Amino acid sequence: MQFFAVFDGHGGHGCSEFLRDNLHNLIAQSTYFPHNLERAMQDGCETAERMFMQQNLDIVRDKSGSCAIICLLCDQDVYIANVGDSRAITS
């Protein structure tokens, strides 16, 4: 299996860097991985959002956000997730 992603940060680079460092692991740690990759990708994104927001509850350290294009390649299947206004086009 291969993981590829592009993170388009908004308002800074903190969120994009957090996703770069953590999202692939959060997807792989999902209870849905590897038997339901679509749900694992969704679960990983939701977990990443909660974690990034949690670190800003007491003191706002980072006001950035990020769009994302996420791609998982598994055998002959391609799974793509678009988060925000970023989009992937296959050809």
Mean pLDDT by groups of 10 residues along the chain of 91 residues: 95 94 98 97 97 85 93 94 89 80
Rounded to 10 degrees, the C-alpha dihedral 68/29/3/89 comes to: -40
Q: How many CB atoms lie within 10 A of CB 64?
A: 17
What's the pLDDT score for residue 41?
A: 97
Please tell me the predicted confidence (pLDDT) of residue 21: 97
Distance separating alpha carbons of residues 30 and 21, to the nearest angstrom = 16
**H helix and E strand count, the chain:** 2, 3
